[in-house]
Structure 1
Amino acid sequence: MPVIKRFPQYRLVINERDHNPPHFHVRMNDGREVSVKIDGMEIIHGRVAAREIADALKWARENRLFLMEKFEELQQ
Protein backbone atom coordinates (compact mmCIF):
# COMPACT_ATOMS: atom_id res chain seq x y z
CA MET A 1 0.00 0.00 0.00
CA PRO A 2 1.80 3.08 -1.22
CA VAL A 3 1.81 6.11 1.03
CA ILE A 4 0.69 9.05 -1.09
CA LYS A 5 1.10 11.84 1.48
CA ARG A 6 2.24 12.06 5.11
CA PHE A 7 0.81 14.41 7.72
CA PRO A 8 1.85 14.69 11.38
CA GLN A 9 -1.12 12.70 12.73
CA TYR A 10 -1.92 10.41 9.79
CA ARG A 11 -0.96 9.26 6.33
CA LEU A 12 -2.93 9.04 3.11
CA VAL A 13 -2.64 5.73 1.25
CA ILE A 14 -4.15 4.00 -1.77
CA ASN A 15 -4.21 0.22 -1.75
CA GLU A 16 -3.22 -1.81 -4.77
CA ARG A 17 -6.05 -3.73 -6.46
CA ASP A 18 -8.68 -2.16 -4.22
CA HIS A 19 -12.44 -2.08 -4.83
CA ASN A 20 -14.53 0.67 -6.39
CA PRO A 21 -15.53 3.43 -5.98
CA PRO A 22 -12.14 5.13 -6.35
CA HIS A 23 -11.05 6.09 -2.85
CA PHE A 24 -8.11 6.55 -0.54
CA HIS A 25 -7.52 5.64 3.08
CA VAL A 26 -6.49 7.96 5.87
CA ARG A 27 -4.61 5.94 8.50
CA MET A 28 -4.32 7.70 11.83
CA ASN A 29 -1.22 7.24 13.99
CA ASP A 30 -3.50 5.81 16.72
CA GLY A 31 -4.70 3.00 14.41
CA ARG A 32 -8.06 4.40 13.31
CA GLU A 33 -8.77 4.51 9.60
CA VAL A 34 -11.31 5.94 7.18
CA SER A 35 -11.95 5.48 3.48
CA VAL A 36 -12.69 8.63 1.51
CA LYS A 37 -14.32 8.66 -1.92
CA ILE A 38 -12.15 10.67 -4.32
CA ASP A 39 -15.14 12.07 -6.20
CA GLY A 40 -16.92 14.18 -3.58
CA MET A 41 -14.46 13.68 -0.70
CA GLU A 42 -17.08 11.90 1.38
CA ILE A 43 -16.11 9.47 4.14
CA ILE A 44 -17.51 6.12 3.02
CA HIS A 45 -16.16 3.88 5.78
CA GLY A 46 -14.65 4.37 9.20
CA ARG A 47 -15.10 6.50 12.27
CA VAL A 48 -12.91 9.56 12.19
CA ALA A 49 -14.48 13.00 12.27
CA ALA A 50 -13.85 15.06 9.14
CA ARG A 51 -12.43 17.84 11.32
CA GLU A 52 -9.67 15.47 12.49
CA ILE A 53 -8.49 14.94 8.92
CA ALA A 54 -9.26 18.42 7.57
CA ASP A 55 -5.71 18.90 6.24
CA ALA A 56 -5.86 15.60 4.34
CA LEU A 57 -9.27 16.42 2.86
CA LYS A 58 -8.08 19.87 1.79
CA TRP A 59 -4.95 18.43 0.19
CA ALA A 60 -7.01 15.69 -1.50
CA ARG A 61 -9.48 18.23 -2.96
CA GLU A 62 -6.56 20.19 -4.40
CA ASN A 63 -5.00 16.99 -5.82
CA ARG A 64 -8.13 15.07 -6.85
CA LEU A 65 -6.93 14.42 -10.41
CA PHE A 66 -3.59 13.08 -9.15
CA LEU A 67 -5.40 10.78 -6.68
CA MET A 68 -7.73 9.46 -9.40
CA GLU A 69 -4.77 8.75 -11.68
CA LYS A 70 -2.86 7.03 -8.86
CA PHE A 71 -5.92 4.93 -7.93
CA GLU A 72 -6.31 3.77 -11.55
CA GLU A 73 -2.57 3.05 -11.85
CA LEU A 74 -2.59 0.89 -8.72
CA GLN A 75 -5.57 -1.17 -9.86
CA GLN A 76 -3.68 -2.72 -12.80
Structure 2
Amino acid sequence: MPTLKVLDGIKIQVFADDHNLPHFHALKGEYEVLIRIGSWNVLRGQMRRKDLDAVIAWANSHEEELRNEWTRLNG
Protein backbone atom coordinates (compact mmCIF):
# COMPACT_ATOMS: atom_id res chain seq x y z
CA MET A 1 0.00 0.00 0.00
CA PRO A 2 2.22 2.77 -1.23
CA THR A 3 1.73 6.24 0.12
CA LEU A 4 1.56 8.57 -2.86
CA LYS A 5 1.55 11.78 -0.88
CA VAL A 6 1.53 13.10 2.66
CA LEU A 7 -0.50 16.28 2.69
CA ASP A 8 -0.46 18.19 5.98
CA GLY A 9 -0.28 14.88 7.85
CA ILE A 10 -2.87 13.15 5.64
CA LYS A 11 -1.63 9.99 3.92
CA ILE A 12 -2.95 9.43 0.40
CA GLN A 13 -2.76 5.71 -0.43
CA VAL A 14 -3.84 3.27 -3.13
CA PHE A 15 -4.02 -0.38 -2.08
CA ALA A 16 -3.18 -3.40 -4.24
CA ASP A 17 -5.88 -5.99 -4.93
CA ASP A 18 -8.52 -3.58 -3.64
CA HIS A 19 -12.22 -3.92 -4.30
CA ASN A 20 -14.91 -2.11 -6.24
CA LEU A 21 -14.55 1.14 -8.11
CA PRO A 22 -11.23 2.92 -8.59
CA HIS A 23 -10.64 4.81 -5.37
CA PHE A 24 -7.98 5.91 -2.93
CA HIS A 25 -7.69 6.10 0.83
CA ALA A 26 -6.96 9.24 2.82
CA LEU A 27 -5.92 8.74 6.45
CA LYS A 28 -5.21 11.16 9.27
CA GLY A 29 -5.28 10.13 12.92
CA GLU A 30 -8.53 8.32 13.63
CA TYR A 31 -10.09 9.49 10.35
CA GLU A 32 -10.13 7.54 7.10
CA VAL A 33 -12.10 8.06 3.91
CA LEU A 34 -12.30 6.17 0.64
CA ILE A 35 -12.76 8.53 -2.29
CA ARG A 36 -13.76 7.52 -5.80
CA ILE A 37 -11.26 8.65 -8.40
CA GLY A 38 -12.80 11.14 -10.81
CA SER A 39 -16.09 11.91 -9.12
CA TRP A 40 -14.39 12.58 -5.76
CA ASN A 41 -17.40 11.15 -3.93
CA VAL A 42 -16.71 9.78 -0.46
CA LEU A 43 -17.51 6.07 -0.64
CA ARG A 44 -16.93 5.38 3.04
CA GLY A 45 -15.66 7.05 6.18
CA GLN A 46 -15.36 10.51 7.64
CA MET A 47 -12.78 13.26 7.84
CA ARG A 48 -12.73 16.84 9.02
CA ARG A 49 -14.11 19.14 6.30
CA LYS A 50 -10.89 21.20 6.07
CA ASP A 51 -8.81 18.04 5.56
CA LEU A 52 -11.29 16.52 3.11
CA ASP A 53 -11.32 19.70 1.05
CA ALA A 54 -7.51 19.67 0.90
CA VAL A 55 -7.49 16.00 -0.16
CA ILE A 56 -10.04 16.56 -2.92
CA ALA A 57 -8.22 19.64 -4.20
CA TRP A 58 -4.96 17.66 -4.36
CA ALA A 59 -6.67 14.66 -5.98
CA ASN A 60 -8.36 16.81 -8.59
CA SER A 61 -5.00 18.12 -9.77
CA HIS A 62 -3.40 14.63 -9.62
CA GLU A 63 -6.16 12.53 -11.18
CA GLU A 64 -3.92 10.95 -13.82
CA GLU A 65 -1.38 9.91 -11.17
CA LEU A 66 -4.14 8.34 -9.04
CA ARG A 67 -5.65 6.48 -12.02
CA ASN A 68 -2.24 5.19 -13.11
CA GLU A 69 -1.44 3.92 -9.63
CA TRP A 70 -4.86 2.26 -9.31
CA THR A 71 -4.35 0.51 -12.67
CA ARG A 72 -0.79 -0.53 -11.79
CA LEU A 73 -1.87 -2.11 -8.51
CA ASN A 74 -5.30 -3.47 -9.49
CA GLY A 75 -5.10 -4.20 -13.20
**TM-score, length-normalised on structure 2?**
0.89
Q: Deviations over 1:15-39 (max 9, x none)?
A: 01101200000011x1210000002
| Counterparts in 2 of 1:23 and 1:50: CA distance versus 1, 3 Å | farther
Q: CA RMSD in A?
A: 1.3
Gaps of at least 5 residues in structure 1 are none
* CA-CA distance at 1:56 after TM superposition: 1.6
Gaps of at least 5 residues in structure 2 are none
Q: Secondary structure at the match of 2:55?
A: helix
1:35 aligns with 2:34: yes
Q: How many residues are matched?
A: 75
- What is the rounded CA distance, in whole Å, between the counterparts of 1:42 and 1:3 in structure 2? 20
| Counterparts in 2 of 1:19 and 1:71: CA distance versus 1, 3 Å | same
Matched residue, 1:24? 24
Q: Secondary structure at the match of 1:52?
A: helix
Post-superposition, which runs of at least 4 consecutive aligned residues in structure 1 deviate over 2 A? 49-53
The structure with the greater share of residues assigned to strand is: 2
**TM-score, length-normalised on structure 1?**
0.88
* CA-CA distance at 1:9 after TM superposition: 2.6
